[in-house]
């Protein structure tokens, strides 16, 4: 029973990658502390819709920031 409760708690805490903004030129993503999705996978799927590949441009924010870091990708 304890194992089940631990799994439920973990599932509730885990989130998905949130899309901040997107276009045919790129995508900006917020990743929660625990995530079921990979930002790279989400960006690749987004850019593939336009026949392009996702290229990671960088991350804004970090451990000292007061917000969730945003990861930027260009679609090339």
Q: 50-76: per-residue pLDDT in tens?
A: 999 999 999 887 666 556 788 999 999
Regarding pTM above 0.75, the answer is no
Quick one: pLDDT at residue 5? 55
Q: How many domains does the chain have?
A: 1
pLDDT of residue 59: 87
Encode pLDDT of 4-50 as tens digits: 555 554 554 456 778 888 999 999 998 766 667 788 999 999 999 99
Residue 9 lies in a domain: no
**What are the angstrom distances between the C-alpha of 9 and each of 4, 30, 34, 35, 38?**
9, 21, 12, 13, 20
Structural domain span for residue 48: 14-75
CB neighbours of residue 6 within 10 Å: 10
Residue 7 lies in a domain: no
Which tops the pLDDT comparison, 48 or 2? Answer: 48
């Amino acid at each position: 029973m304890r194992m089940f409760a631990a799994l439920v708690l973990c599932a509730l805490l885990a989130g998905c990658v949130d899309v901040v903004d997107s276009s045919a030129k790129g995508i900006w993503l917020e990743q929660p502390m625990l995530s079921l999705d990979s930002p790279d996978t989400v960006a690749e799927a987004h850019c593939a819709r336009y026949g392009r590949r996702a290229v990671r441009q960088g991350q804004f924010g970090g451990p000292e920031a007061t917000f969730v870091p945003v990861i930027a990708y260009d679609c090339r």
